[in-house]
Amino acid sequence: MEMEDFPYKLPPDSRALVTGATGFTGSLLVRKLLKQGVKVVAIARHTSNLDAFNNMEIEWIRGDVFDENLINQAIKGVNYIFHLVTPFREAKSPNIGYYNVHVLSTQLLAKAALKQPDFQRFVHISTIGVHGHIKQPPADENAPMHPGDVYQETKLEAEIWLKNYAAQKGLSVTIVRPAGIYGFGEKRLLKIFKWVYRQWVPVIGEGNNLLHFIHVDDLTNFLILAATHPKSDGEVFICGSPEAISFKKMVSIISDYYGNSVKFIKFPAAPMFALGYLFEVICRPLGIEPPIYRRRLAFYTKDRSFNTSKMNNLLGFVPAHSDEEGLKELAKWYLDQGWIK
């Protein structure tokens, strides 16, 4: 991809700090920034595998993102922060890990950014999960907050702290709540594509719950735009496709591409959630990942549907990838990788 192919760019010779750079979204963002000539500083755990970034001019800072000394080292001369880091979401993960990565790291980064004379903007990546189940879809950025687990609770806590701190100190901040992120390299949806390919899909209830997605290419473009647009300062944006789709619609799009007919295996919601709770109670103290747990079940039962027009109305941003186009491209990509059998 050539420079002129980038519709959204940071100013020339900018220096950007990216947390979560080795993740699905972070790695694409880093690649885009590098191709634009941006100097990238990235924080990665000591255990992170950096082989995919060989021969890339990235200044890696190894350690914990909630280490104050590390933050002070990484922030020097930085103009932009893209704060994407998140702990790997496992039911067995301790709560303090979510607090440290989501809340404490945000506080340290914001305080350190204020000390940089040429700092421009802090782009903080949260989640639509802070809104919980949407009882009257579609919801917007001002909808009530109903986080459903410690991941979402600490994401919300970080948001609230950052907005208050930025208002008090005059720090330029934009908060982005992405919808469900998908695209080449994403594996969280892989099992659903496998089910569709094999023509048997488990579903909780009727499969009519609403899902909201955003292609990773669109999300990373929006993050760059949010970092540079004057009207995004101090704002919160839900970043998603123009409309949500039902779980059944998602399955239909995938099955159309694979050219097969799918049969749904239905399970009642209440017993499944009770079973998930039981597995969590038993497995978590043992440090074992439960085979079923409630956060995963929520994907098949909760409505996630949002009005995403603020992106367009305020910043003129329209996603380039439709859900149908993107999901079919992903279906092909999984086949090409040999992941679907």
Residues of the chain with confidence (pLDDT) below 50: 1-4
At 316 the pLDDT is 97
Q: Which tens digit of pLDDT belongs to each residue from 245-277? A: 999 999 999 999 999 999 999 888 777 778 777
β-strand partners of 211: 245
How many residues does this entry show for the chain? 341
Residues 237, 63: Cα–Cα separation, whole Å: 30
Task: Indicate the burial class of 30 (C-beta count within 10 angstroms; 0-12, 13-18, 19 or more).
Answer: buried
CA distances from 140 to 161, 179, 240 (A): 20, 12, 11
Task: Indicate the burial class of 244 (C-beta count within 10 angstroms; 0-12, 13-18, 19 or more).
Answer: buried
Residues 193, 187: Cα–Cα separation, whole Å: 10
CA 44 to chain centre: 17
Beta-strand pair 213-215/121-125: unpaired
At 88 the pLDDT is 60
Residue with tokens 């040999």: 338
The residue ranges of every structural domain in the chain are 10-186+213-240+307-320
Find out whether 330 and 186 touch, Cβ atoms under 8 Å.
yes
Question: How many CB atoms within 10 Å of residue 17?
Answer: 29
**Measured between alpha carbons, how far apart are the two ends of the chain, in Å?**
31
Report the candidate in 184, 187, 173, 225 with the shortest Cα–Cα distance to residue 28: 184
Find out whether 158 and 106 touch, Cβ atoms under 8 Å.
yes
β-strand partners of 16: 40, 80
Task: Indicate the burial class of 165 (C-beta count within 10 angstroms; 0-12, 13-18, 19 or more).
Answer: middle
Find out whether 48 and 85 touch, Cβ atoms under 8 Å.
no
Conformational region of residue 306, where left means phi above 0, alpha means psi within -120 to 50, and beta covers everything else: beta
At 4 the pLDDT is 47
At 1 the pLDDT is 38
Residues 308, 297: Cα–Cα separation, whole Å: 25
Task: Indicate the burial class of 332 (C-beta count within 10 angstroms; 0-12, 13-18, 19 or more).
Answer: middle
pTM: 0.92
3-state class (DSSP) for residue 250 = helix
3-state class (DSSP) for residue 270 = helix
Domain 10-186+213-240+307-320 adopts which CATH fold?
Rossmann fold (3.40.50)
Find out whether 311 and 235 touch, Cβ atoms under 8 Å.
no
At 322 the pLDDT is 97
Percent of the chain, pLDDT > 70?
Answer: 96
CA 13 to chain centre: 27
The amino acid occupying position 178 is P
Answer positive or negative: Cα dihedral of 127, 21, 322, 297.
negative
Task: Indicate the burial class of 71 (C-beta count within 10 angstroms; 0-12, 13-18, 19 or more).
Answer: buried
